[in-house]
Structure 1
Amino acid sequence: MNEQNLSLQEVLRGLQSRRAAWAAMPAPRRVALLRECLAQTRHVAQAWVDAACEARGLDPRGPLGGEEWLSGPYVLMRHLRLLAECGEGKYASLPARLLEGRTVAQVFPRTPIERMLWQGFRGEVVLAEGASPERGQAWHRIGGPGRLALVLGAGNITSIAACDALHMLFAENSVVLVKLNPLLDSLQPVFEQALAPLVREGFLAFCRGGAREAEELALDMAVEAVHLTGSRSTFQSLVWGPEAEAGSSGVPRLQVPITAELGCVTPVLVVPGTWTEADLAYQARHVASMVYHNSGFDCASAQVLLTDRTWPQRAAFLNCLRRELTSLPVRPAWYPGAVSRHAELAGQYPQAEFLGASSERGVPWTLVPDIPLEEGQPGLTREAFCGLLFEAPVQAGGVLPFLDHAVTAANQKVWGNLSCVLLVDPRTARQHARDLESAIYRLEYGCVGVNVWTGVAFGLPELPWGAAPGNTLADVRSGLGFVHNVHGFENVQKGVLRGPFRTFHTPPWFARHRNLPHLGQALCELEVAPDWPTAFRVLAETLRGGLPPGVPGGR
């Protein structure tokens, strides 16, 4: 056994010895640790962003540095604050309604400040049919032996591993070892400082390593649960063995509970309606931003546009989208395999349109229009993870046929069931309200965004994040179980985040935001000090981001 393995064994033994202490820790002490971690994360936030940008070849003071503020320290800080407030009993009562036998709980926005900053947005947790709105409070359950969980972190979004660790600690009552993805090795000191109170007391540890170390740790007798954020192939190898084929059955070699988030070919359903020129421009920027964010290395990146072939404005919308993608600068293709995946997938479609300039550091944004909506199509069944967008038109002929055919296609012909987006203009939404609600709940996805990218839902830990229930070890699709869900709802079916069709300012997840680093810093401050002076600072930084397309003066 080499020196690193000996060291990891010592870490595992140390965590084992703290299981009972964590399980017995009362809620007030856990809240105090969360508050300490929040202060620590604020202290290291700039170092976190600097390290992430250096690893990806970005300017931390430029617009793309703002992305790292929002998807890194901000997401973790929001988790920490909300977990602490839940532990203090602040959200003991949440509004809920019954819809077709399901309980739907509204979890966002909850405060006057949030309602001001998120006008027109609403986040809901949908429970399984017949389930009661009881909320599990696993981290309030004192006693028991506790357990040791292994978190195998993702390499694309820097907050994922830390937030997954919080979930295992507070929702699953486990002490945690986090094995970082090698792409984030340089951030290990930052994570250890941000969560130093938990690390110091022996409830949390971080380590480095590749696939071999991940396998050895997962199969170690000390590990009693595993959570993975990664790819299907990694999951398959871990559970069934490196030689196993997809869809294996029989006895898995991994004999402990495993949860996982494994990505998705994310569909965007464009409901036909009568859109103005401003609507077309705004939603084209919206969709392009779903591709542009993080160079396309997101499990929620838009990959398939489901349109109505007979929609009179289909061509106009695609032309607006082409202009948007052409105008966006190429970003570094820093995630392993991006260039080869892009070449392989785009090469299978002669109609692929390479938009904008390419460079040695990146691949061009690529639109592939009019692909057949057939099972087995590579654009529908392989996660691109590299800035490729496919359009698959549905032969519908109206709103109701489109909703019926597009929902069926998304459920049956597009791989994965993590998240999807539905774009619908207000007039069409009013005219077809009942059918629209039915479509939202028929979509077999763990998260549905209505007029808002589901990457935003990922950053709101009030909502659950994970694949739709029903997947199995043998047919895992986008994964097993939910994380986030800070309110502790049980029997979760999905999260739904609704937003306005258009906003009066440029949303922070849109490309070309003019003030993203300053807005990201202000939002982090709001998590530490959720008061009105800080909220007005956030509002001011938001307005400095510029006007969206379709608004006079917008760009």
Structure 2
Amino acid sequence: MTSATTSASPGTDSGKPADLDDAERARLDTAIGELHTGAATWSALTLAQRVTLLRQVRTSVAAAAEDWAVTAAASKRLDGRHPLRGEEWLSGPYSVLGALDAYIDTLTRLAEGRNALDGVRVSRAPGGRTRVHAFPLTGIDRFLLSGFTGEVWLEPGTTPNGARAGAGLAQRAPTASGGVGLVLGAGNVTSIPVLDVLYELLAHNRTALLKVNPTQDALVPVFKRALAPLIGPGFLRIVRGGPAVGAYLTGHRDLAHVHITGSAATFDAIVWGTGPAAARRRRENRPQLKKPITAELGGVSPIIVVPGAWTDADLAYQAEHIATMRLQNGGHNCIAGQVVILSADWAQADAFRAALRRAYAKAPERPIWYPGSDSRMDAATADYPDALVLGDRLLVEIAEDQDAAALQTTEYFAPVLGVVALPGSGQAFLDTAVAYANDRLQGTLGANLLIDPATEKSLGAGFERAIAALHYGSIAINSWTAFGFIIPTLTWGAFPGNTIGDVGSGIGVVHNALLLDGVERSVIRGPFRPFPRSLPLINGGGRFTILPTPPWFVSARTGAHVSEGLTRFRAGGGVLGLLKTLTAALRA
């Protein structure tokens, strides 16, 4: 999510004047013309040629990985010694390299005349749904990320045979051009613009004009080197600019589609305009945008903590887990957990609150770097003047008689974490928490749920029914939904049903490297306990993992080294480097 605004487009579909000079307009028009030529070239490529091209992109991304991560960290004011600099390796080049590998695998199957889901297990899910077991699909993922699995649930009524028939999307008809699309890039996570460009190209057969968010201007030279194999033949153009450039482009007659990662306010400004005229257009259902638009717009993400019999180590570990969900990237994430939902009847609720305060306070401090975040922190302080101020962050523990409306409906996009308590235990609590998340919290992008193995087993089928009832586009069980973001064969986007008139967390999905049609949600499942407590004899039937503290945890002492090592391994292999990385991981 980003918070930049885009005004109505001039001199285009909307007919309004732009704050651009003739030279700037000509530069943008030239780029769009080159992309139309590139679209014809792309449509002429065979699937095998596309695979070769993606391998070239992979090579250039790998070569740029270090510059990418270092530049991104510096732009967020993290120096080379900061313990959280590893975030920029995982959320930047690592994510893009993983996506390229997954797309290459899918297109290779199609090029060989096989189904996109050949070798991928497909089964039934609750409510007449089909689930695609989309992670892990490789031996190295099964080893390095042991204990984690991911499923894509398709919309009710889709059969397993229907899932296979629809997989492949535009690559099933590669000669049918989707024209040229506009990608308005996110400003907070550096892989997002690149992943969105890849999805335009592969899911829709659209060449792409990427307008980089001004917060990522420093990365434009890196992006141009990393994506040179796409830029050369006219499949991609990258431009800088503020709201005026975005406005001109969103209304441009020669662009077929708009995709934005940002805020609902920006989305509404693009679709409806601003001021009194926008209100009139809404009433008349007469949007100023005359082309299709998809979007990922964030929301208020719940963290449901299902009560059980937890050890002191469980309390501490899961408290660090929640601190990570909020504080990774300074809280400037569309998927940052914001509202912790506890059981008021849980015997360990007070102990968990204490563990959460400690973990939240102990996490390394970092700059609040995203534009507008200071004002949002001020707003949170005004909303909740009694909140705990813990260094550079706020912890809001909602009392029984306190109004939680601001916390439920404001995506603070800053280090603000809230805790609410609901009655009940077991299935009754879980059902109440699911209803609270669905009905009270703004948005449907992602939800997190923590539950110990014994409690999950005791709930039986009721647990799966509760997951089906949780209407979010990404659901993480004993994991964080950001894990689903970096797994390319999973999908990323809001729960289906939003419209341009009520956009919520957005419309459509991205990533989706298996190119599945009719997606409803992705479900990630992870280990409740880390290694060595994940060993079967002491884990109560839970999932085994070789990971101690995962490298993305803000509390991981060696997270920066492990994140860099995993990215370098993803980029170029090397057993010795991997062994060093795993050794560092065991010291986390």
TM-score of Structure 1 vs Structure 2, range by shorter chain: over 0.9
> Does residue 124 of structure 1 match 2:164?
no
Read off the aligned partner of 2:220 and give its amino acid letter. Q
Say which of 234, 253, 260 aligns to 1:221. Answer: 253
Read off the aligned partner of 1:256 and give its amino acid letter. K
Q: Report Cα offsets for 1:113-141 as digits up to 9, x if no partner.
A: 21111221110000111113231331242
Matches within 5 A, 1:234-313: 234-243=266-275, 244=278, 248-249=282-283, 250-313=285-348
Corresponding residue for residue 34 of structure 1: 54
Q: CA 1:61/1:205 → structure 2, altered by over 3 Å: closer, same or farther?
A: farther
Count of aligned positions: 537
> Does residue 377 of structure 1 match 2:405?
yes
- Displacement after TM superposition at 1:288 (Å): 0.6
Say which of 72, 75, 94 aligns to 2:120. Answer: 94
Corresponding residue for residue 448 of structure 2: 421
Q: CA 1:515/1:126 → structure 2, altered by over 3 Å: closer, same or farther?
A: same
Mapped contact 1:49–1:60 kept (Cα < 8 A) = no
Share of identical aligned residues, percent? Answer: 39
Q: CA 1:237/1:104 → structure 2, altered by over 3 Å: closer, same or farther?
A: same
> Does residue 9 of structure 1 match 2:35?
no
Read off the aligned partner of 1:15 and give its amino acid letter. L
Ranges in structure 1 where 5+ consecutive residues have no aligned partner: 358-363, 549-555
Q: CA 1:329/1:519 → structure 2, altered by over 3 Å: closer, same or farther?
A: closer
Corresponding residue for residue 431 of structure 1: 458
Q: CA 1:368/1:129 → structure 2, altered by over 3 Å: closer, same or farther?
A: same
Say which of 504, 508, 515 aligns to 1:488. Answer: 515
- Displacement after TM superposition at 1:429 (Å): 0.6
Matches within 5 A, 1:18-33: 18-33=38-53
Corresponding residue for residue 450 of structure 1: 477
Q: CA 1:405/1:32 → structure 2, altered by over 3 Å: closer, same or farther?
A: same
Mapped contact 1:165–1:176 kept (Cα < 8 A) = yes
Read off the aligned partner of 2:83 and give its amino acid letter. P
> Does residue 185 of structure 1 match 2:212?
no
- Displacement after TM superposition at 1:375 (Å): 9.2
Q: Report Cα offsets for 1:463-494 as digits up to 9, x if no partner.
A: 00000000011110000000001001111110
Q: Which stretch shifts more, 190-199 or 248-257?
A: 248-257
For the residues of structure 1 that align with 2:403 and 2:520, how far apart are their CA atoms?
25
Mapped contact 2:130–2:163 kept (Cα < 8 A) = yes
For the residues of structure 2 that align with 1:223 and 1:153, how far apart are their CA atoms?
16
- Displacement after TM superposition at 1:108 (Å): 0.6
Q: CA 1:73/1:61 → structure 2, altered by over 3 Å: closer, same or farther?
A: farther
- Displacement after TM superposition at 1:331 (Å): 1.2
For the residues of structure 1 that align with 2:420 and 2:279, how far apart are their CA atoms?
29
Read off the aligned partner of 2:412 and give its amino acid letter. A
Read off the aligned partner of 1:48 and give its amino acid letter. W
Corresponding residue for residue 361 of structure 1: none
Say which of 498, 501, 507 aligns to 1:471. Answer: 498
For the residues of structure 2 that align with 1:73 and 1:371, how far apart are their CA atoms?
42
- Displacement after TM superposition at 1:144 (Å): 2.9
Q: Report Cα offsets for 1:317-374 as digits up to 9, x if no partner.
A: 010010111212321011011111111122212331111x3xxxxxx22111125699
For the residues of structure 2 that align with 1:439 and 1:207, how far apart are their CA atoms?
45
> Does residue 50 of structure 1 match 2:77?
no
Report the secondary structure of 1:392's partner residue: strand
Corresponding residue for residue 553 of structure 2: 510
Read off the aligned partner of 1:161 and give its amino acid letter. P
> Does residue 59 of structure 1 match 2:79?
yes
Corresponding residue for residue 545 of structure 1: 585
Q: CA 1:507/1:145 → structure 2, altered by over 3 Å: closer, same or farther?
A: closer
Corresponding residue for residue 163 of structure 2: 133
- Displacement after TM superposition at 1:143 (Å): 1.8
- Displacement after TM superposition at 1:245 (Å): 5.3
- Displacement after TM superposition at 1:543 (Å): 4.0
Report the secondary structure of 1:146's partner residue: coil
Report the secondary structure of 1:64's partner residue: coil
Read off the aligned partner of 1:407 and give its amino acid letter. V
- Displacement after TM superposition at 1:247 (Å): 11
Corresponding residue for residue 103 of structure 1: 130
- Displacement after TM superposition at 1:38 (Å): 0.7
Report the secondary structure of 1:248's partner residue: helix
Corresponding residue for residue 366 of structure 1: 394
Q: Report Cα offsets for 1:377-432 as digits up to 9, x if no partner.
A: 0100010111100112112x211111111111100100000001000001001111
For the residues of structure 1 that align with 2:227 and 2:497, how far apart are their CA atoms?
34
Q: CA 1:238/1:447 → structure 2, altered by over 3 Å: closer, same or farther?
A: same
- Displacement after TM superposition at 1:71 (Å): 0.5
For the residues of structure 2 that align with 1:136 and 1:54, how far apart are their CA atoms?
38
Read off the aligned partner of 2:409 and give its amino acid letter. T
Corresponding residue for residue 568 of structure 2: 525
Mapped contact 1:26–1:140 kept (Cα < 8 A) = no
Q: CA 1:121/1:247 → structure 2, altered by over 3 Å: closer, same or farther?
A: farther
Report the secondary structure of 1:544's partner residue: helix
Mapped contact 1:271–1:403 kept (Cα < 8 A) = yes
Mapped contact 1:522–1:541 kept (Cα < 8 A) = yes
Report the secondary structure of 1:201's partner residue: coil
Report the secondary structure of 2:163's partner residue: coil
Read off the aligned partner of 1:541 and give its amino acid letter. T
Say which of 206, 209, 227 aligns to 2:241. Answer: 209
Mapped contact 1:466–1:482 kept (Cα < 8 A) = yes
For the residues of structure 2 that align with 1:92 and 1:528, how far apart are their CA atoms?
25
Mapped contact 2:120–2:133 kept (Cα < 8 A) = yes
For the residues of structure 2 that align with 1:110 and 1:7, how far apart are their CA atoms?
43
Mapped contact 2:178–2:204 kept (Cα < 8 A) = no
For the residues of structure 2 that align with 1:247 and 1:109, how far apart are their CA atoms?
46
Ranges in structure 2 where 5+ consecutive residues have no aligned partner: 1-20, 110-115, 532-547
Report the secondary structure of 1:18's partner residue: helix
Q: Which stretch shifts more, 331-340 or 515-524?
A: 515-524
For the residues of structure 2 that align with 1:127 and 1:295, how far apart are their CA atoms?
33
For the residues of structure 1 that align with 2:299 and 2:176, how far apart are their CA atoms?
37
> Does residue 342 of structure 1 match 2:377?
yes
* Alpha-carbon RMSD: 1.9
- Displacement after TM superposition at 1:41 (Å): 0.7
Read off the aligned partner of 1:111 and give its amino acid letter. T
Q: Report Cα offsets for 1:210-237 as digits up to 9, x if no partner.
A: 1121111010001100100000100010
Read off the aligned partner of 1:168 and give its amino acid letter. E
Corresponding residue for residue 388 of structure 1: 416
For the residues of structure 1 that align with 2:281 and 2:398, how far apart are their CA atoms?
30
Q: CA 1:371/1:411 → structure 2, altered by over 3 Å: closer, same or farther?
A: farther
Report the secondary structure of 1:323's partner residue: helix
Q: CA 1:238/1:375 → structure 2, altered by over 3 Å: closer, same or farther?
A: farther
